[in-house]
A and B are shown apart, each in its own frame.
Chain A
């Protein structure tokens, strides 16, 4: 398994507050991804990165931004959290364009 950690693992916040989730990897993988997983929807891609400072939008990017200033870290920011962003967030990394390894997830609740 890739060495992938996510922080925080659990967070409760209020509507309208900014939230930043962190993904850290020790595998020197080029590709990093942020997904959200909700009942009835499966895993949906929010944003991804194909290198330092190189990012692109996924299918559910509205309300989210990302940054990758170094290979090992990929940050996901909710500029102004809404209740619809209550979800489980998974980070994934990959050294090639296909195989992805997942972090343990962050459970976010927006009240």
Chain B
């Protein structure tokens, strides 16, 4: 099993649609989870952290299922500006000095 696995997409959705991305991770010792967003030819930017209780930031909702080692990101009312690659990120755990493992990303394209 890959350390962090994501469906590469692309997900092509119309404006206003709801879209969900999933991610699985292999290291049960991982303690911290994130979603990053990366625009074409730009640096990754932190979108949100993912907590066990689930968390919401505007149109974005992140969920964590530790038992299944599964993370999700839900985007409601998609905007053209949401078009980007979304990276699932997990820490190595075990006092790894902040080492993060990045998924290869899921590409989202929102069309008019």
A: which residues have CB within 8 A of B? 1, 31, 33, 40-43, 45, 48, 50, 56, 58, 90, 94, 96-105
Contact = CB atoms under 8 A, between A and B. Distances in A.
A105 B45 CA distance: 12
Interface in B8-50: 32, 34, 42-46, 49
Contact of A98 (B32, B103, B104): B32
Contact of A41 (B43, B46, B87, B104): B104
B97 A100 contact: no
Given A42-B105, A98-B32, A48 B97 contact: yes
Nearest to A35: B102
Nearest to A98: B32
Interface of B: 32, 34, 42-46, 49, 87, 91, 96-100, 102-105
B91 A98 contact: yes
Contacts of A40: 104
A42 B87 contact: yes
B2 to A, nearest CB: 10
Nearest to A107: B41
B44 A102 contact: yes
Contacts of B32: 98
B43 A96 contact: no
B43 A50 contact: no
B97 to A, nearest CB: 5
Contacts of B44: 43, 90, 102
15 contacts: A31-B97, A42-B102, A43-B87, A43-B102, A45-B100, A48-B98, A58-B99, A98-B98, A99-B34, A99-B46, A99-B49, A101-B46, A104-B43, A105-B42, A105-B43
